[in-house]
Every structure is written in structure tokens, then in C-alpha cells.
């Protein structure tokens, strides 16, 4: 396949960024009959149709610029088919493994149902009140896409990727003169080669993790620290949102076709902005379901509530201060 047949798409991401699942092992690719919206245009999702993606999506060759398999080595993670570039140091590879295993815990909490747990609370908080509503074309599309994204993530959690689907992690920029990681606040960026043939699914996703990512605290140490804090601190998600696993999960929630459809973008980062985005005034589900960070924080909220055995999922500090507890008591 000629390189010219592909267009590369890149995200810049700031801080961004059990029971066996019962979901089908078949990938969830919401069908579409019109050209998918591309990343730079945060347009609304295209309407789903009854037709399915063709089955010949595995037939295409990787683009010429796709690095050879020998450039990567398999990481020891609970996510399947996850590789690090051989240019990463051993320490970086270990850090990637820790972050990936922690991101897996977050994704599992989010997508593998626990009996009796009220998922509506966190999903409404981070993906908007309409995350599961139906009744008109817009509501139906949104809830269908969100359900599909969760279903795809459950597949990744359970290890059910197709043979040629891969996650490829880098610890340095892919291209010469790429100064992405030199920019303030950038933790990671992801890209894929987008086949001009709209019916081909994207199989390989790349993410470069910048030095800032490797400086982020781990999930387990953060949870251990929170356990020593008053419950009020445990209920403020800002106290945990900076962990490396959230950055990695944010990036994975950019992986089109493998995880999300249609493309996600970055409308908001962090607990406060994502909370505001999910409200009606901030855009609500219509924007939140296209925002990678919203999914990552939603997963963190569920994981923390379950792990710390909290009465409700953690929320943003400002919301806690102003609405839940205006007196600051």
C-alpha cells in the first residue's frame, strides 16, 4: 500500500490526557454510510445506518511508513498486543507496564459490570445526563456510540483484540524535528495512519509518551496515600487525576475503530473542565462523549469509588466546595 494512500492524524495531549466480561468478542464498529468526521473537525457524529463495515478490513497492507515489527518489543501488560519501541530504556518500559496495568484496572472498573453498582452516577457526572438516553435521533446516536466505546474497551480489557490490532508506545518523538514533547504541558500524543478507503478500520495505534508522563505518580501509590486521608479528600477526584494511568487511558480513548467511533478530540482536560463540559451549559453529552479525557476520568471515578468504598463517585474539587458542601464543613 502506497504511503500516499494514508493520512496521519495526531493528537496533542496535555495532562492530558473479576468477572469475565460478557460482551461479544466481535469488534463494535458502529456502521456509517457517510464519511467519518476527521479529527481536526469536532463535528457531530454521523448518523448510524443499518449497514455494517465490510469484512475485508483486514486485507489492507500497513503503510510504508509503519515501522517494522522488529522495532518493538511486547510489554508485560494485562492489555493485549501492547508494544514499546526498542529505543525506550528498560526503566521506561517498566513504567509503561505499570501504567498500562493500572489503566487496565481503570478500564475494567468502567466496563466490566459489578452487580449492584450504580454506573449512572459517574457516567452522568462525566459524560452528561444524556449518556444513556434515547428518544430522538441525537440521543439515540450518542448513547449508541458511548455503549459501543465501552464495549470496545471491554474487549481490550478481556484481551480480545484481533491478531493485527496493536498498541505501539514510544518514549521519544517519532519524527525528526518533532518538538511536541518540548511544549509545556504536553504529556503524550497519539497518531494513526488513516486509510483513504473509508471502509478500512484503523488497526495500529501509536502513542509517544513524553518525559512528563514518566514523572507522573502511579495509581497504586496515589490510592495508598488517599487511604490515609479524610474521606472528604478521597471524594475529590482532583487528588488522583494526575496519575500516569489516566494519561494512558486518555490516549487509548483516542484510538479510533479499536476503541472509539467516531473520533474523539480534546474539548476539555482535567476534573473541573470535564465536569463543566458534561453539564448542559457546557455542552453536555453532545460534547462529552467525543472528549477523551471525560472517559478517562469517568473510569477513575468508578475505580476510586469501588476501591475506597466511597458513598458516591469522587467529583471535582470546585463542585464539592460550591455545590455539595457550600459551607466547606
Side-chain half-sphere CA neighbours of 262 within 13 A? 25
* 292 makes contact with Zn ion (CB under 5 A): yes
**128's grid cell:** 452528561
Could you tell me the smallest distance in angstroms from the CB atom of residue 9 to Zn ion? 12
Among 97, 102, 130, 266, binds Zn ion (CB under 5 A): 266
- 50-55 long-range contacts, CB within 8 A, separation 24+: 53/29, 53/199, 53/201, 54/199
* 303 makes contact with Zn ion (CB under 5 A): no
Could you tell me the smallest distance in angstroms from the CB atom of residue 297 to Zn ion? 12
Q: Identify which range of 7-15, 23-31, 127-135, 152-160 contacts Zn ion by CB under 5 A.
A: 7-15
* 11 makes contact with Zn ion (CB under 5 A): yes
- Measured from the CB atom, the residue of 17 and 237 that comes closer to Zn ion is 17
Q: Identify which range of 5-13, 39-47, 271-279, 299-307 contacts Zn ion by CB under 5 A.
A: 5-13
Q: Identify which range of 52-60, 220-228, 275-283, 291-299 contacts Zn ion by CB under 5 A.
A: 291-299
CA 325/CA 323 separation, integer angstroms: 6
Q: Identify which range of 112-120, 138-146, 168-176, 263-271 contacts Zn ion by CB under 5 A.
A: 263-271
Could you tell me the smallest distance in angstroms from the CB atom of residue 116 to Zn ion? 33
Site size with Zn ion, rule: CB under 5 A: 5
Q: Which residues contact 96 (CB under 8 A, 6 or more apart)?
A: 75, 77, 84, 88, 169, 171, 209
Could you tell me the smallest distance in angstroms from the CB atom of residue 188 to Zn ion? 8
CA 59/CA 326 separation, integer angstroms: 58
Q: Which residues contact 106 (CB under 8 A, 6 or more apart)?
A: 219, 245, 246, 249, 296, 299, 300, 302, 303
Could you tell me the smallest distance in angstroms from the CB atom of residue 22 to Zn ion? 30
Burial-class residue 315 by CB neighbours within 10 Å (0-12, 13-18, 19+). Answer: buried
- Measured from the CB atom, the residue of 143 and 294 that comes closer to Zn ion is 294
Report H helices in the chain: 90-111, 120-127, 137-158, 211-215, 219-227, 231-234, 244-252, 270-278, 285-288, 292-308, 317-319
CA 287/CA 25 separation, integer angstroms: 28
Instruction: Point out the residue whose Cβ comes nearest to Zn ion.
Output: 13
* 17 makes contact with Zn ion (CB under 5 A): yes
**93's grid cell:** 518500559
Burial-class residue 281 by CB neighbours within 10 Å (0-12, 13-18, 19+). Answer: exposed
* 295 makes contact with Zn ion (CB under 5 A): no
- Measured from the CB atom, the residue of 235 and 258 that comes closer to Zn ion is 258
Among 13, 103, 237, 277, binds Zn ion (CB under 5 A): 13
Q: Identify which range of 10-18, 26-34, 199-207, 213-221 contacts Zn ion by CB under 5 A.
A: 10-18
Could you tell me the smallest distance in angstroms from the CB atom of residue 11 to Zn ion? 5
Site for Zn ion, rule CB under 5 A: 11, 13, 17, 266, 292
Amino acid at each position: 500500500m502506497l504511503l500516499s494512500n494514508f493520512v496521519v492524524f495526531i493528537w496533542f495531549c496535555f495532562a492530558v490526557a473479576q468477572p469475565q466480561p460478557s460482551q461479544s468478542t466481535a469488534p463494535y464498529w458502529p456502521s456509517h454510510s457517510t464519511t467519518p468526521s476527521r479529527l481536526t473537525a469536532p463535528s457531530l457524529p454521523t448518523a448510524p445506518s443499518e449497514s455494517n463495515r465490510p469484512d475485508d478490513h483486514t486485507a489492507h497492507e500497513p503503510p510504508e511508513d509503519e515501522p517494522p515489527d522488529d522495532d518493538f518489543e511486547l510489554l508485560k501488560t494485562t492489555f493485549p498486543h501492547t508494544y514499546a519501541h526498542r529505543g525506550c530504556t528498560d526503566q521506561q518500559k517498566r513504567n509503561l507496564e505499570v501504567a498500562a496495568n493500572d489503566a487496565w484496572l481503570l478500564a475494567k472498573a468502567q466496563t466490566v459490570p459489578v452487580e449492584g453498582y450504580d454506573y449512572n452516577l459517574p457516567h452522568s457526572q462525566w459524560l452528561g445526563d444524556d449518556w444513556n438516553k434515547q428518544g430522538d435521533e441525537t440521543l439515540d446516536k450518542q448513547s449508541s456510540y458511548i455503549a459501543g466505546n465501552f464495549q470496545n474497551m471491554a474487549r481490550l480489557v478481556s484481551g480480545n483484540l484481533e491478531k493485527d490490532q496493536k498498541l505501539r508506545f514510544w518514549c521519544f518523538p517519532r519524527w525528526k524535528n518533532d518538538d511536541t514533547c518540548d511544549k509545556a504541558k504536553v504529556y503524550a500524543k497519539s497518531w494513526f495512519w488513516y486509510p483513504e478507503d473509508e471502509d478500512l478500520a484503523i488497526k495500529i495505534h501509536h502513542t509517544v509518551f513524553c518525559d512528563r508522563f514518566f514523572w507522573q505518580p502511579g495509581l497504586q501509590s496515589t490510592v495508598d496515600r488517599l487511604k490515609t486521608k479524610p474521606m472528604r479528600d478521597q471524594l475529590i477526584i482532583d487528588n488522583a487525576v494526575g496519575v500516569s494511568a489516566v494519561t494512558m487511558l486518555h490516549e487509548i480513548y483516542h484510538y479510533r475503530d479499536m476503541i472509539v467511533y467516531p473520533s474523539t478530540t480534546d474539548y476539555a482536560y482535567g476534573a473541573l473542565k470535564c465536569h463543566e463540559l458534561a453539564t448542559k451549559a457546557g455542552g453536555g453529552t453532545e460534547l462529552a462523549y467525543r472528549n477523551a479525557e471525560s472517559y478517562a476520568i469517568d473510569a477513575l471515578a468508578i475505580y476510586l469509588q469501588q476501591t475506597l468504598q466511597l458513598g458516591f463517585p469522587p467529583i471535582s474539587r470546585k463542585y464539592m466546595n460550591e455545590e455539595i458542601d457550600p459551607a466547606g464543613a
